Amino acid sequence: MSDTRRQLVVTPDEERPMSDTCREVVVTNIRMPFWSMVIFMVKFSIASIPALMILSILYLVGVSIVGLVAGSMGWF
């Protein structure tokens, strides 16, 4: 089985300014050692803890406000 690869050929588009051009990029492979990936995933998990805490606090505040409004209107 032969390894065939396509090369990206980019030609300048002189009809449109550079800010208006849109190019599609497809990532087909990421070469990363196993332990580097494990360390990255552990760091990502640890970094997500404060974000989950903030989202939980926002949810609690939102539910409390809805409960106060509904309670003051006699819905509960």
pLDDT at 46: 96
Q: Nearest 5°: CA angle at 62, between 53 and 51?
A: 20
Residue 5 banded pLDDT, cuts 50, 70, 90:
low
CA dihedral 19, 22, 26, 30 (to 10 degrees): 0
- pLDDT tens track for 13-58: 555 555 667 888 898 888 899 999 999 999 999 999 999 999 999 9
pTM over 0.85: no
Task: Give residue limits of the domains in the chain.
Answer: 18-72
pLDDT at 36: 94
Q: Nearest 5°: CA angle at 28, between 27 and 33?
A: 100
**Alpha-carbon distances of 29 from 5, 8, 32, rounded to whole Å:** 12, 15, 10
Residue 12 banded pLDDT, cuts 50, 70, 90:
low
Tokens matching residue 42: 């552990």
